[in-house]
Amino acid sequence: MARYLTVAAFRWLALTGTMHFVIDVVSQYWRGKRAPGPETTLYYGLNSAFALSQVLFGLLCLWAMRKQPDLLRDPMVMVLSVAGGAAWLTLTFLAMDYWEPKLNAGIFAVLLITAIVVGRSQR
């Protein structure tokens, strides 16, 4: 069960990161929703870095899980994953006004913590 929750957490992270990038960066750029300027550059930069970091981390962890199925049993991987989730949640509350990234990062954190707790109880 812990393995399924871990895969779900990292798939969720990669999926929502991709969707965030497509909706908040690519879509708005194509539609010309933002006037050129420093604020627009900061907006696209923040959202690109946020979304692509989620995608890359999620895909990297999914790839690593193929090689090492009990990935979250390693304490360092647990710490890095929880730190990543905490950083994304913090960034959403400090720098983003809309609720969707907060919800997505929160769901990732809940799935990850649940996977860690279930994995520890199965030992």
What pLDDT, in 10s, does the model give residues 21-80?
999 889 988 998 888 899 888 889 999 999 999 999 999 999 998 888 777 778 888 898
What pLDDT band is residue 123 in, cutting at 50, 70 and 90? Answer: low
CA-CA distance, 120 to 113, in Å (whole number)? 11
Instruction: Note the pTM of the prediction, 2 decimals.
Output: 0.86
Number of compact structural domains in the chain: 1
Cα–Cα nearest to 61, from 91, 70, 75, 103: 70
Q: Which domain holds residue 51?
A: 2-121
Q: pLDDT per residue over 103-122, tens digit each?
A: 999 999 999 999 888 888 87
